[in-house]
Chain A
Amino acid sequence: MSRPISGNAFLEEIVADTPGGESLVTCLQCGTCGGSCPSGADMDHTPRQLFAMIQAGMRDEVLHSNAPWYCVACYYCMARCPKDIPVTDLMYTLKRMAVREKLYDDRDAPDWSQSFIGFVEAYGRSFEFGLATRYHLTHQPLKKVGVGPLALEMLVKDRMSLRPDRIRGLDQLRKILDKAKSLEVV
């Protein structure tokens, strides 16, 4: 029953980078994914549309879509998909491809991910205060003015640290991550 996927390099690339991704070709176009999506209204294309576009080889349009960047990773689509397509994981794959090729139209979300992992690579732990200063002061700071008192309250309630926590095995972690990056199939 399954259609051959050869001849569509874009589809093959996505499938190869997604655990269980081969089920993408079984999409019934039922729309359960988009209908279940809490941020579906913000997306230019719902996952259902994206899957049809992928099968049609519309590489540029798909990688420019804002849909993966609006995915909140709630996994409703994945739990409900009648064909068990790993929709959320496919969104992550599309994000990675868009990041590698710098095809995203709005840099806020990819920059957030980069800032977040920058601190993880530097300290081994995430660092909320660092993120607040490094990311928010450079990304629409005026829209975030109202959040200032909130950060202060987090400090007063002893729920935010001004200093990062460091793990002892930072060298080990960096060696592992460097090796992992060299093994990433692109």
Chain B
Amino acid sequence: MRYGYYPGCSLTHSAAPYDLSAQAVAAAFGMQLEEIDDWNCCGATEYITINKTAAYALVGRNLALAEAQGGLDQLVAPCSACYLNLRKVDHNMAAYPQMAERTNAALAAGGLHYDPGSLRIRHLLDVIVDDVGMEALAAKVTRPLHGLRLAPYYGCLVVRPPLNGDGPNTEYPTHLDRLLTKLGAEVVDYPLKTHCCGGHMTQISSDTAYELIRRLLQCADQYKADAIVTVCPMCQLNLDAYQSQVNRRFGTEFRLPVLYFTQMIGLALGLDPKALGLGREIVSAEPALAKIGVAAPEPEPAAPRRKRAETGLPMPHRRGED
């Protein structure tokens, strides 16, 4: 199984554990993820706020590069926001010829072209559920996640908007639930499973964002989940990194680790937790991992300071250096 792979900006840094675990799981199932060479940002929710044609062209460059890479008919995005942007531009270019014409006129300035419909845009969750399949997944489980209570959190953009009417249930999907059950975990009911994490509102209006995050944490907490499992780097960042802020704002004491579904699969396959990027979450997953007999890896020590070039300008010495 060969796929074009569009990691997106988050997976290069803030969601590096998602990239690591996605690659590890793909390798375990013989999926070839072929990164699109020199891909650019998808524009998130920001470019379309300022300029529609430029927003389409920005995404269009990625689609054109993927098409030009040759032999790829599917493009996989692990980030739900990237997935939506790629899918929407492809869909709207096909549905509205004028948008295709305009987008391609812009791409032509860079010597590129994209034929809408030539790539099938897919989210990594859908690829693993539909192509790898539940049975193949279950067959490879060597470290079942017995005793671990997980809240399956889909977020918005892996299930909405319905562009062709053939997607998963837009309000109460169950494919991630079933996947986690196959891994041996106890999946709790999670009524807010497709509610919004606040998206970019953590940056613009924390009053709005923190309340949405609080609801999601409280719901998982009430169902006594040991961890929230996510399929999106934005959801992970908001629920993990801003959890302490939410606790401070509302006087709550949530300690819910937020992990990627690929990390859960990797754990169940018996892969090394460190190779899955575990230990890099802000809210420690240690108590949750202990329930399945896995020790949380120590965080890497910060990278050593770069040596000054011998020929560089003389700089004052810091005490204890050299």
Residues of A within 8 A of B (CB): 17, 19, 38-39, 42, 69-70, 72-76, 78-79, 86, 88, 92-93, 95-96, 99, 108-110, 112-114, 116-117, 120, 124-126, 128, 131, 135-136, 143, 146-147, 150, 153-161, 165, 167-169, 172-173, 175-181, 183-185
A154 to B299, CA, bound (A): 12
Is A117's CB under 8 angstroms from B96's CB?
A: no
Contact of B200 among A95, A112, A154 (CB under 8 A): A112
B109 near A78 with CB under 8 A, answer no
Q: Are B205 and A42 in contact (CB under 8 A)?
A: yes
Interface residues of B (CB under 8 A from A): 9, 12-16, 38-41, 43-54, 56-58, 60-61, 92, 95-96, 99, 102-103, 105-112, 156-157, 160-162, 170-171, 195-196, 198-201, 203-208, 212, 241-242, 244-245, 248, 280-282, 299-300, 302-303
Q: Which residues of A contact B107 (CB under 8 A)?
A: 176
Which interface residue of A73, A95, A96, A147 has the most chain B CB atoms within 10 A? A73
Q: Cα distance A158–B110 when bound, in Å?
A: 34
Q: Is the CB of B40 within 8 A of A108?
A: no
Contact of B196 among A72, A126, A181 (CB under 8 A): A72
Most chain B CB within 10 A, of A110, A120, A146, is at A120
Q: By DSSP majority rule, is chain A's interface helix, strand, loop, or mixed?
A: helix
CB atoms of A177 and B208 under 8 A apart: no
Q: How far is the CB of B311 from chain A (nearest CB, A)?
A: 22
The answer to whether A114 and B51 have CB atoms under 8 Å apart is: no
Listed from nearest, the 10 A-B pairs whose CB atoms lie closest are: A180-B106, A179-B109, A180-B57, A75-B160, A74-B196, A172-B110, A116-B46, A176-B110, A113-B46, A180-B54
Nearest-Cβ distance from residue B321 to partner chain A, whole angstroms? 19
Q: Contact: B195 with A38, CB < 8 Å? A: yes
Q: Is the CB of A159 within 8 A of B280?
A: yes
Quick check: A124 and B205 within 8 Å, CB to CB?
Answer: no
In the bound complex, residues from chain A placing their C-beta under 8 Å from that of B198 are: 72
Shortest distance between the CB of B19 and any CB in chain A (Å): 11
Extra inter-chain contacts (8) besides given A96-B48, A113-B46, A167-B38, CB under 8 Å: A19-B99, A42-B205, A143-B206, A150-B242, A159-B15, A172-B110, A176-B107, A180-B54
**B12–A125 CB distance below 8 A:** yes
Given known A-B contacts A39-B208, A70-B208, A146-B245, A157 and B282 have beta carbons under 8 A apart: yes
A sample of 9 inter-chain contacts (CB < 8 A) reads A38-B196, A38-B212, A42-B207, A75-B161, A86-B161, A117-B43, A117-B50, A150-B245, A154-B282
- Bound: A167/B110 CA distance, A: 14
The chain B residue sitting closest to A144, CB to CB, is B206
